[in-house]
Chains A and B, each alone.
Chain A
């Protein structure tokens, strides 16, 4: 019986094709906006979280802050961190290891083409393993660095293809790093992070040799013994730094941050953006819903005679209600379905264009099943919600009055 009702309702909608499409337009613009914008926002969130993801939850970093307008983090600061500070931090309770990290930017030349490379240092001795684990360094080809690997480097996966130098670099090739010749001994696995995929991994001694040692460090990485105490350890580190650098609470010229904090602050920013999108989309969906209500009221008035006929030949009030209810629900449902397809297309199309324009893998649409099912369900509920009143009006018509109309 319900199937028959669905068929009858669909017939009515097909009979008024243009109006049905126009009504659904309101819904599918709203749903398309939700799906595409949320999908892109979510994609951005996943991608950015992925950038932080290389640091474990038990590691935090210390950087000097101040003027940091360009270049790698910590390079243009007013008061850089002293390179012996890590020893003091290592002495703290709850700290398992602490080590300096040097980051330098330089030119990288291969095949007579120059590019910017970011050189990341790896310490020697027992801290090497810790940094490799922390950065999750693994090679796709060649091998990792060892102590004494002078004039040897590992390149990020992004140099493997011919995009940067017009010719891919592989293990064994020679490249110029800021004018000096280095042998590439390995290519890192693909990280999907633009920082890592275009980085140069180099031994700390080699880096200091080439770029000069001024007794400072760009970053201190701290690994705690127990992740539960990370907040406490971070506070202790702040205390030491305030004392060392002679600054007051609230006027710190350094930043102690865990990746977790960074992700949280990113999430809260993105949440605000998503909330804004939701509000805009809700307005559009409510307008779409009112469009459905308007169409259905018109349909009820237009089909008064039809309602009368149906009642005369045995349709009960509930039957008439169901017929109109299905119609409005269907308008919402199909509107939502088209909106989802449109939204998927927009999200993927926009992120594709973004990737082409910026050459960054960062822009990816991420559309979850929950988002799709939720949008679908929501548009159906919207259709039925705004269809209830017109359907009640249709059902309550008196058969004699309805038959007499027109």
Chain B
């Protein structure tokens, strides 16, 4: 097994806006170990979202390489990236990003549908995950019928649906009150400790970042100093 589950090697991302070239990432280097809980911090416009897109295989770099489990995915085509995301990475977003037309359980089952899992297994697993986050009475509810905290718990269940190695959380408590927020953080920590999931959290909140094993700061598209611990 590779030492690093994710390795980002001198990655540049350049957007062309009109005639101006904007460098969102300028030679980003980052290595993430199996089972690590990493917080990526940075002010808005620092390139942390772009970094997250690279880690989450949502985008490919203009220059440099991204390795997932030792495989260079920087030249992958979109459909291969989609398959990779579907299998290896679970996303948790600030806006929860649930599909409003589907019920809680259908939202959790969706990644498994894309993966072609049989219906019985899908339902069993989705029910298990929803009761794990304390939503076993809410299977049939639509996202609009759930509170913010409940929605984020559905989103966490969805992120765990295909049992991915990596959980990518983008400001996971940003839209929640502090009490609900800390419940969500407890979940993430528990996943890290008990299930040995690699957790990468993007945030601008110092307090939140302290929950992680290691903190990396991004400014101007680069990591600027080593993390704690």
Inter-subunit contact A314/B102 (CB<8 Å): no
* Contact among A312, A314, A403 for B87, CB-based, below 8 A: A314
Which A-B residue pairs are the 7 nearest by beta carbons?
Answer: A314-B86, A314-B114, A15-B101, A316-B82, A313-B111, A11-B101, A4-B113
> In the bound complex, how far is the Cα of B87 from the Cα of A305, in angstroms?
21
* Contact among B53, B56, B82, B93 for A315, CB-based, below 8 A: B82
* Contact among A315, A398, A400, A403 for B114, CB-based, below 8 A: A315
* Contact among B91, B116, B162 for A312, CB-based, below 8 A: B91
Inter-subunit contact B79/A318 (CB<8 Å): yes
* Contact among B93, B99, B111, B119 for A314, CB-based, below 8 A: B111
> In the bound complex, how far is the Cα of B102 from the Cα of A5, in angstroms?
12
Known: A314-B115, A316-B83. A11 touches B58 (CB 8 A): no
Chain B's nearest CB lies how many Å from the CB of A228?
65
Nearest chain A residue, comparing its CB with the CB of B79: A316
Indicate whether B131 reaches chain A with its CB closer than 8 angstroms: no
8 A-B residue pairs with Cβ-Cβ distance under 8 Å, sorted by A, are A4-B113, A11-B101, A15-B100, A309-B97, A309-B99, A310-B110, A313-B114, A400-B59
Inter-subunit contact B110/A1 (CB<8 Å): no
| Residues of B within 8 A of A (CB-CB), count | 29
Indicate whether A46 reaches chain B with its CB closer than 8 angstroms: no
Indicate whether B78 reaches chain A with its CB closer than 8 angstroms: yes
> In the bound complex, how far is the Cα of B65 from the Cα of A225, in angstroms?
92
Inter-subunit contact B110/A313 (CB<8 Å): yes
Indicate whether A377 reaches chain B with its CB closer than 8 angstroms: no
Indicate whether B85 reaches chain A with its CB closer than 8 angstroms: yes
> In the bound complex, how far is the Cα of B110 from the Cα of A11, in angstroms?
13
Interface of chain A, main secondary structure: helix
Nearest chain A residue, comparing its CB with the CB of B111: A313
Q: What are the residues of chain A within 8 A of B113 when measuring CB–CB?
A: 1, 4-5, 8
- Taking A11-B106, A312-B97, A316-B78 as known contacts, 15 extra A-B pairs with beta carbons closer than 8 A to each other, sorted by chain A number, are A11-B102, A306-B100, A309-B97, A309-B98, A310-B99, A310-B110, A310-B114, A311-B85, A312-B58, A312-B91, A313-B85, A313-B114, A314-B111, A314-B114, A399-B82
Chain B's nearest CB lies how many Å from the CB of A82?
84
* Contact among A11, A305, A318 for B97, CB-based, below 8 A: A305
Indicate whether B158 reaches chain A with its CB closer than 8 angstroms: yes
Q: What are the residues of chain A within 8 A of B91 when measuring CB–CB?
A: 312-313
Inter-subunit contact A1/B53 (CB<8 Å): no
